[in-house]
Amino acid sequence: MSDYSDQFMAAVRAKNPAEPEFHQAVQEVVESVGLVLGKHPEYRKAKIMERIAEPERVIMFRVPWMDDQGETHVNRGFRIEMNSAIGPYKGGLRFHPSVNLGILKFLAFEQVFKNSLTTLPMGGGKGGTDFDPKGKSDDEVMRFCQSFMMELYRHIGPNTDVPAGDIGVGGREIGFLFGTYKKIRNEFTGVLTGKGLNWGGSLIRPEATGYGAVYFAAEMLATRGETLEGKTCLVSGSGNVAQYTVEKILDLGGKSVTLSDSGGYIYDPSGIDRDKLAYVMDLKNLRRGRIQEYAQKFSEATYTPVDPLSEENPLWNHKADCAFPSATQNEIRAKDAQNLLNNGVYVVSEGANMPTVPGGVDLFVQEGILYGPGKAANAGGVAVSGLEMSQNSMRYAWSREEVDKKLHGIMKSIHRACVEAAETYGSKGNYVNGANIAGFIKVADAMMDQGIFG
């Protein structure tokens, strides 16, 4: 690390104690941006990096709700409004018991650069709560969402801050949140994305993150004259991102052999075909069951429980060509990264946010594999959210083909921006530096233009 990034990170750690994921996300960006600051001393003078690492606003609130037995519970709600230099704050809501301020700050920080890369006018934000929707009835989830929105509505709006889904927040939760916002504000407006198709949602939004991560992998492979045809892929998670990753891998002629949830993973060497994927969608989205059931249904598959505290996850220890981590942060440890390389994996396209620990990222970069970091590879989701905002403003809906074509075009353009930025700043083939630098410059220039409040 340079003296600048050392000093910068010491200050970030002192100011934001006990937020390791936030430190990790900032450190990666500041190291890449170091390559830019030499050529652009004006950014350093204007303290752009210092300003970007400080949220514009953090909102923290109490969310009381009552369960089906009449017992009262209290959770904590958050919204991090990180940066609005290039557009309204935009980023998902995460409902998961692990949620805390540091995790949401890391996600909001990543979102700033990701949204910048999409080419669309969106600032960065993120929010959520430590409420666990698992095992709750639909009525309980609805009462929770209503209570959450009773506070959040004051801070968001179609031109201010437009939340979407993330872990634990899908179509059901967005529906309850939207209904509550509409009731309070007496206004039907595009304040959330990921809405239902018959009330303002965009076609392809549910598919967008997974499809986008696979399009990004295809672009990386194309730089070596290859395609996904015939490639074996390891996919983690079994939620929104994982499901549509598997679908697009099938479309492009590849074969996915794994899926997981927080209990463990399934390995299906014969491949997850369309019928099996339909089973997973029903299991996860409607029955809200566990991935273990897949191995009970399909005898060719095996299920292995995984200890989340273990240094390695056997999911990443199978022969394959590509890996699509699509569950959560830091799910690929350094040992897992080494196992992936040992098993022949040379394409990693991150559907999840920051799924690889820094030691793993270093290994991928050193080995020169095709490594697409989350803020580039999974930007398809927020890109289609941006398209949903445009459609809502126009009161118009594009066809499935139109949205998919735009998504594909955006992923190609993100890939190109990463490649070009990496080359310009002397780091050819390094998508980590490319994504951080391309994302940073657009936001930094907007902040410079807007003066000290930019």
Cα–Cα distance measured from residue 77 to residue 151, given in angstroms and rounded to the nearest whole number: 9
**CB of 24 vs ligand NDP, minimal distance in Å:** 14
Contact 335, 301 (CB under 8 A): no
Site for ligand NDP, residues 178 to 237, rule: CB under 6 A: 209, 237
Q: Judged by CB under 6 A, which stretch of 163-171, 274-282, 433-441, 445-453 contacts ligand NDP?
A: 163-171
Q: Judged by CB under 6 A, which stretch of 137-145, 337-345, 348-356, 361-369 contacts ligand NDP?
A: 348-356
**CB of 39 vs ligand NDP, minimal distance in Å:** 31
Catalytic (active site) residue 276:
no
Backbone φ and ψ of 386, nearest 5°? -60, -40
Q: What is the largest CA-CA distance in the chain?
A: 62
**CB of 346 vs ligand NDP, minimal distance in Å:** 22
Q: Is 165 in the site for ligand NDP (CB under 6 A)?
A: yes
Helix, strand or coil, per DSSP, at residue 81? strand
Backbone φ and ψ of 380, nearest 5°? -60, -35
Q: Tokens 């369309």 sit at which residue?
A: 274
Site for ligand NDP, residues 286 to 315, rule: CB under 6 A: 308
Cα–Cα distance measured from residue 279 to residue 193, given in angstroms and rounded to the nearest whole number: 26
**CB of 333 vs ligand NDP, minimal distance in Å:** 12
Contact 82, 89 (CB under 8 A): yes
Supply the Cα-derived Rg of the chain in whole angstroms: 21
- State how far the alpha carbon of 31 is from the alpha carbons of 28, 340, 344, in Å: 5, 25, 28
Q: Judged by CB under 6 A, which stretch of 59-67, 219-227, 340-348, 349-357 contacts ligand NDP?
A: 349-357
How many chain residues bind ligand NDP (CB under 6 A)? 24
Nearer to ligand NDP, 170 or 175 (CB): 170
Nearer to ligand NDP, 8 or 294 (CB): 294
Q: Judged by CB under 6 A, which stretch of 68-76, 160-168, 335-343, 421-429 contacts ligand NDP?
A: 160-168
Query: What is 57-72 written as a DSSP string?
Result: EEEEEEEEEE-TTS-E
Secondary structure element (H or E) that encloses residue 131, with its range: none
Per CB under 6 A, residues contacting ligand NDP are 98, 165-168, 170, 209, 237-242, 261-262, 308, 326-328, 351-353, 378, 381
Which residues are known catalytic residues?
Answer: 126
